[in-house]
Copies of this chain bind each other. A is one copy, B any other.
Amino acid sequence: MSDPLKKPALFRRACLIGIGLIGSSLARAIRAHGLAETLVCHSAADGSKETAQKLGIVDEVYADPAEAVRGCDLVILATPIGANAALVEQFGPALEAGAIVTDVGSVKMAVVRDVSPFLPDAVHFVPGHPIAGTEHSGPEAGFAELFQNRWCILTPPTGTDPEAVTKIRTLWETIGSNVDVMEAGHHDQVLAITSHLPHLIAYTIVGTADDLEDVLKQEVIKYSASGFRDFTRIAASDPTMWRDVFLNNREAVLEVLQRFTEDLTALQRAIRWGEGETLHALFSRTRQIRRGIIEAKQAYGSGIAKFETQ
C-alpha cells in the first residue's frame, strides 16, 4: 500500500527506448531520485536486455517497443538518432493520450523531422539533449551522476504544451542538470562547433595516424601522452551514434568545417613562411577561451573525472 503522506513521483510509468550509456545513466538517475513509480525499457539486442535486467536498473525489459510504451506517461528515446523514425513508427500508435515523449539525441532538427510525423496528436513531444557523456557505450558504462552540473538543452517546437516542457525541465533539474531552452536549429549550429567539429577532427587525426606504417604507428601510441591521446579518447566514441550525428547535421557541420579549414590553411601558411608573430598572436588569444571555460565551471566533467583518474 502506498504511503498517503508521500509525494507522488513525477511520472507514473516511464519507458526508456534504448538502455546504452545515456539511457542507463538516466535510468539510474531516475531511480536514485524516485522520479517514476515504475521504470521500464525497450532493448532490441539480447545482450543489453540481459545486462539491463542483471544490473537491476529498470523494473521490466520489453523486446517490443509498442509493448514497452503502453500505459506510460513518459517515453525517453535514448537510441542513435538514425534509429528513431523506425522505432517511433512502431510504438507511436501504442502511446496513451497525454503522454510526454522526449529524447536525448545530439542533433535536434533531424529528430523533430523524424519523430513528429509518427506521434498521435494527443502526445507531447519535448526534444532534449544532455551535454554530458563519455567515450564509453552500453548499459554498463552508465552512472547516475553523469548529468550533475551539466547542461541539458530542450528544443520544444512552438506551440508545445508548456506543462509538458516544465515536467521535462523538472526531470533534468532533479537529477542535477541546468536546463536551457532554445530553437532546434540554433542548437544544431552551436553543437556543430562545440561537439561535432571536435569529434570529426579527432576522428580524422587518429585515422591519419592509423594509416601510418606499423613501426611509426607503434611509436605514436607509445608517445601519445604529448597531445595525441586526448584526441584518441574522443575518437573512441560510438561509431553508430557519430555516423548518425554527421548524416543528420550535415549543413551546420559543413559550414563550421569550412571556417576551420580556412583558419588551418592560414596557419599552415604562417608556419611555411616562418611568421612567428602570427603564430604567437593566435596562441595567446586561444588561452582566453580556456579561462572562460574554467570560470564557467565547465572545465572538468563528472564523467571525465571519473574516467581520467582510474
Contacts and interface: CB of A to CB of B under 8 A. Distances in A.
10 contacts: A190-B220, A191-B226, A193-B220, A200-B267, A207-B282, A220-B289, A233-B290, A239-B283, A243-B276, A250-B274
A225 interface: yes
A234 B263 CA distance: 17
A83 interface: no
A201 B260 CA distance: 9
Contact of A194 (B131, B190, B228, B240): B228
Contacts of A298: 221-225, 229
Nearest to A301: B225
Interface string A278-305: 0110111111111111001011110011
Contact of A300 (B239, B268, B310): B310
Given A221-B289, A229-B293, A257-B268, 5 more contacts: A106-B226, A194-B226, A203-B282, A203-B286, A235-B286
A121 interface: no
B296 A221 contact: yes
A191 to B, nearest CB: 6
Interface string A141-184: 00000000011010000000000000000000000000010000
A151 B254 CA distance: 38
Nearest to A275: B247
Interface in A229-283: 229-240, 242-243, 246-247, 250, 253-254, 256-257, 259-261, 263-264, 267-268, 271-272, 274, 276, 279-280, 282-283
Contacts of A228: 193-195, 198
A208 interface: yes
B230 A230 contact: yes
Interface stretch (A44-52, A62-70, A91-99, A209-217): A209-217
A309 interface: yes
A28 interface: no
Interface of A: 82, 106, 131-133, 135, 150-151, 153, 180, 189-191, 193-212, 216-217, 219-240, 242-243, 246-247, 250, 253-254, 256-257, 259-261, 263-264, 267-268, 271-272, 274, 276, 279-280, 282-293, 296, 298-301, 304-305, 308-310
Contacts of A202: 227, 286
A204 B201 CA distance: 11
A280 B220 CA distance: 23
B283 A242 contact: yes
A216 B292 CA distance: 13
Given A254-B271, A298-B221, A209 B227 contact: no
